[in-house]
A and B are shown apart, each in its own frame.
Chain A
Amino acid sequence: MAKYQSVFKQLLEAHGGPGFEQDVRNLILPHLSDYAAEIWTDALGNLVGLIPGAGEGKRPRVLVSAHIDEIALVVTRIESGGFLRVAQAGGFDPRALVGQEVLVHTQSGRVWGVIGAKPPHLTPPSERSKAAKLEELYIDLALPEEDVRARVRIGDRVTLRRAPVDLLNGRIAGKSVDNRASAAVLLEALALLKSMVHSADLYAVFTVQEEVGLRGARTAGFGLAPDIAIAVDVTFGAFPGQAPDESFPLEGGVAISFGPNLHRRVFRRLVDCAERHRIPYQIELSQRPVGADANAFQIAGPGLAAALIGPPIRYMHTSVETVAYDDIWQCARLLAHYVAEVDALQVEELTCY
């Protein structure tokens, strides 16, 4: 039975953009401690937990990762009146920012703000057909200018403010479902693995700075040099107007990625494992290196056998990213069963072309 739904919601309310993931890390730490024999953080801030496998001798080494950063903004200028201008730290659609409540993370704590929206009464028709540009948007802290200047500094980070929303059918909407959903997958998988026997040493890694270029994955992949590295990351949930191969129904199964960037044998094993355990899955095709940690894993150090799985979510990179918890659960089942089945022979086969 799934046991991390409420932790998942806490993760959605935590704030951690690229490079300042400490609050998210601190939330995960006590839960990771329930399973890991050793826990450490690397120079970039990746949180690693080692769950040793059973048996003597050389054991397969498997890395599973979920990035814990979320897309964010950075204060670039304080305008007269105390309004803030911002730059991207991750890929927001500026159109999804208008009228959005945010938190500015200052040295002296969080400050509430809202991204201004011009009232229709003052908006001429010519303006209505134009999309908001990030340079034109501003954050209103509803504070006197001198207070803003005393508290906010250039470089302060900004994240969305959004309490998770419970929808029907165990679906949950909120900010940073990308990729806290996969952090929940890892925790659920670790709980499942506790009652399974696995010969592989498992490294559960909560990576940083994915949203600005897979940076945490790169050093984690190099530093741990596992035999197999599986990234767990969300993919595009089905929605009208999207191409069929970029549109995965919610509760339609775990998305297992296939393409040149991903190791064919690991992919095949994952599919086989899902079939045998009656775990619903759907196959996501990529023609280029994927936009996820698995991209960096493949070329970390001497090269790693990389894979990518994940739950589909709707409205990616908005404050209402929507996931079905059942998809998180099915993804955790697949991850746990796969890890439990990895053996030395499979590792040997990885270089047999």
Chain B
Amino acid sequence: MLLKELTEAFGPTGFEDEVRGVARRELDAMGLSVRTDVLGNVIASTGEHHPGPRVMLDAHMDEVGLMVTHIGEGREDGGLLRFRPLGGVDPRVLVSKPVLVGERRIPGVIGAKPVHLQQPSEREKPIPMEKLYIDIGARDADDARRHVKPGDPVAFATAYDELPHRMAKAKSFDDRVGCYILLEALRRWKGALPVFGAFTVQEEIGLRGAHAAAYQIQPDIAIALEGTVAHDVVGTPAHGQSTVVGKGPAITVQDGQTVAHRRFAEFLWETAKTRNIPVQWRRVKGGTNDFGAIHRVGKGVLGGAISVPVRYIHAPTQVVSLDDVMHAIDLVVAVLDEIAKGGFRP
């Protein structure tokens, strides 16, 4: 199952190789023209000979993770691994989680000093990242060095599972759900339009891959496909929820780095409505996606984002509605159809 394979693939920011492998395999099977650029972005294209507008669909391959920075040498910490975050990771979600380390995917766990041995004052504060270690079971530093090294990337070890009512849980729905939508939309769409699928790197540390990809593609229209914040949980007022899981893909109004192109956002909304695809607005200012980089490339690019609501984004276990995912694919294909018919002129 492709979404399972994508979410379980190992791909912390800058180390997207496994995800890239899956994307290339799928794109090759579709018979698209596929290339990899100097940053590691994968760019697929179809219908380049058709008259424009040139449409770029974007999804980032990387996920938030950790990097091993030091192997403990002391009497107390010998063989334990120090680490720092790759992308935005709240240290509070790390305690008591299994991870995979480095190219060889060495299993490890992140533990903490037992609660029994913590002073009452210690218990009131989160355990800071510098007091956490990855334990791979090494007896000492030399033992650890036989298996891992500083610089090794680390990903959460979370299995994908489907839940009742078309829900699913996994790590890295941000943004493997986007990769999945992009692959399935390219597989399904058979129209006359120059369409470029960009699977980008390093979104989580500043939308790096998208800058270069957009420069190369020079699109007229770009759409970022994202797994975005949903916090539709108990105690959160409606205006703070951003999106609601199960209510359809979300269209950005305004986020940390973009203000929606009003006419294009309305076009996305109307396209969804006329085809009876459920859709909602993304309603918080925080966070962003690759469109934040793309729209500023060259002389500027028009477009927006279509996102799937994800609960517990950036945490080891994230939750989505598979219906939202399917509706997002439907919407992307519908939008391409409309553009091809001349339904939106840049």
User: What residues of chain A have their CB less than 8 Å away from a CB belonging to chain B?
Assistant: 79-81, 83, 91-93, 95-101, 112, 114, 116-123, 128-132, 138, 140, 142-144, 147, 162, 165-169, 171, 173, 236, 238-243, 246-247, 251, 291, 314-322, 324
Q: What is the bound-complex CA distance between A320 and B229, given in angstroms?
A: 28
Contacts A114-B319, A117-B315 given; indicate if A315 touches B165 (C-beta within 8 A): no
Q: Which of B19-27, B121-129, B185-193, B337-345 makes up part of the contact surface?
A: B121-129
Q: What is the bound-complex CA distance between A249 and B315, given in angstroms?
A: 31
User: What residues of chain B have their CB less than 8 Å away from a CB belonging to chain A?
Assistant: 72, 74, 76-77, 80, 88-90, 92-93, 95-98, 106-118, 123-127, 131, 133, 135-139, 143, 147, 157, 161, 163-165, 167, 169, 229, 231-235, 240, 242, 284, 286-287, 311-317, 319
Contacts A122-B231, A168-B138 given; indicate if A96 touches B96 (C-beta within 8 A): yes
The reply to whether A320 and B109 form a contact with Cβ atoms under 8 Å apart is yes
Q: Label chain A's interface by main secondary structure.
A: loop
Residue in A101, A122, A317, A319 whose beta carbon sits within 8 Å of that of B284 in the complex: A122
The reply to whether A251 and B113 form a contact with Cβ atoms under 8 Å apart is no
Q: What is the bound-complex CA distance between A100 and B234, given in angstroms?
A: 17
The reply to whether B115 and A317 form a contact with Cβ atoms under 8 Å apart is yes
Q: What is the bound-complex CA distance between A46 and B238, given in angstroms?
A: 49
Q: What is the bound-complex CA distance between A247 and B124, given in angstroms?
A: 23
The reply to whether A322 and B165 form a contact with Cβ atoms under 8 Å apart is no
The reply to whether B109 and A165 form a contact with Cβ atoms under 8 Å apart is yes
The reply to whether B135 and A322 form a contact with Cβ atoms under 8 Å apart is yes
Contacts of B157 in A (CB 8 A): 165
Contacts of A167 in B (CB 8 A): 107-109, 135-137
Contacts A122-B229, A123-B90, A169-B139 given; indicate if A242 touches B169 (C-beta within 8 A): no
The reply to whether B98 and A131 form a contact with Cβ atoms under 8 Å apart is no
Residue in A96, A114, A119 whose beta carbon sits within 8 Å of that of B314 in the complex: A119
Say how far B120's CB is from chain A's closest CB, in angstroms.
11
Contacts A99-B97, A167-B136 given; indicate if A118 touches B108 (C-beta within 8 A): no
The reply to whether B165 and A143 form a contact with Cβ atoms under 8 Å apart is yes
* A-B pairs with beta carbons under 8 Å apart, 17 shown: A93-B95, A93-B114, A93-B118, A96-B96, A99-B315, A122-B240, A123-B90, A131-B92, A167-B136, A169-B137, A173-B109, A173-B135, A239-B113, A240-B74, A240-B133, A241-B131, A315-B109
Residue in B116, B118, B136, B315 whose beta carbon sits within 8 Å of that of A119 in the complex: B315
How many inter-chain residue pairs (CB < 8 Å) link A and B? 210
The reply to whether A320 and B110 form a contact with Cβ atoms under 8 Å apart is yes
Contacts of A117 in B (CB 8 A): 90, 92-93, 312, 315
Contacts of A123 in B (CB 8 A): 90
Contacts of A314 in B (CB 8 A): 111, 135
Residue in B98, B126, B319 whose beta carbon sits within 8 Å of that of A140 in the complex: B319
Given contacts A143-B164, A317-B114, A321-B111, 8 further A-B pairs with CB under 8 A are A81-B232, A93-B115, A96-B96, A119-B90, A128-B92, A143-B165, A236-B117, A320-B96
Please name the 7 residue pairs, one residue from A and one from B, whose CB atoms are nearest each other, closest first.
Answer: A167-B137, A315-B111, A93-B115, A168-B137, A320-B109, A171-B137, A318-B96
Contacts A165-B107, A318-B112 given; indicate if A142 touches B163 (C-beta within 8 A): yes
The reply to whether B313 and A119 form a contact with Cβ atoms under 8 Å apart is yes
The reply to whether B96 and A240 form a contact with Cβ atoms under 8 Å apart is no
Contacts of B167 in A (CB 8 A): 142-143
Residue in B74, B234, B317 whose beta carbon sits within 8 Å of that of A79 in the complex: B234
Say how far A176's CB is from chain B's closest CB, in angstroms.
13
B147 to A, closest residue via Cβ: A168
Say how far B283's CB is from chain A's closest CB, in angstroms.
11
Say how far A151's CB is from chain B's closest CB, in angstroms.
10
Q: What is the bound-complex CA distance between A114 and B97, given in angstroms?
A: 13
The reply to whether B114 and A236 form a contact with Cβ atoms under 8 Å apart is yes
A314 to B, closest residue via Cβ: B111
The reply to whether A114 and B317 form a contact with Cβ atoms under 8 Å apart is yes
The reply to whether B115 and A98 form a contact with Cβ atoms under 8 Å apart is no
Contacts of A119 in B (CB 8 A): 90, 229, 231, 287, 312-315
Contacts of A171 in B (CB 8 A): 137
Contacts of B284 in A (CB 8 A): 121-122
Contacts of B96 in A (CB 8 A): 96-97, 100, 315, 318-320
The reply to whether A240 and B80 form a contact with Cβ atoms under 8 Å apart is yes
The reply to whether A112 and B111 form a contact with Cβ atoms under 8 Å apart is no
Most buried by A among B114, B232, B286, B313: B114
Most buried by A among B124, B135, B314: B135
Contacts of A324 in B (CB 8 A): 137
A141 to B, closest residue via Cβ: B163
B111 to A, closest residue via Cβ: A315
The reply to whether A322 and B315 form a contact with Cβ atoms under 8 Å apart is no
Say how far A174's CB is from chain B's closest CB, in angstroms.
9
Say how far B261's CB is from chain A's closest CB, in angstroms.
22
Say how far A275's CB is from chain B's closest CB, in angstroms.
24
Say how far A172's CB is from chain B's closest CB, in angstroms.
8
Q: What is the bound-complex CA distance between A315 and B108, given in angstroms?
A: 13
Say how far B137's CB is from chain A's closest CB, in angstroms.
3
The reply to whether B169 and A322 form a contact with Cβ atoms under 8 Å apart is no
Residue in B72, B137, B164, B286 whose beta carbon sits within 8 Å of that of A122 in the complex: B286
Q: What is the bound-complex CA distance between A147 and B92, given in angstroms?
A: 30
A97 to B, closest residue via Cβ: B96
Say how far B162's CB is from chain A's closest CB, in angstroms.
10
Contacts of A122 in B (CB 8 A): 229, 231, 240, 242, 284, 286
Q: What is the bound-complex CA distance between A318 and B109, given in angstroms?
A: 11
Q: What is the bound-complex CA distance between A116 and B234, given in angstroms?
A: 10
The reply to whether B114 and A316 form a contact with Cβ atoms under 8 Å apart is yes
The reply to whether B112 and A101 form a contact with Cβ atoms under 8 Å apart is no
The reply to whether B126 and A130 form a contact with Cβ atoms under 8 Å apart is yes
Contacts A138-B233, A167-B108 given; indicate if A317 touches B116 (C-beta within 8 A): yes
The reply to whether B138 and A169 form a contact with Cβ atoms under 8 Å apart is yes
The reply to whether B88 and A120 form a contact with Cβ atoms under 8 Å apart is yes
Say how far A28's CB is from chain B's closest CB, in angstroms.
26
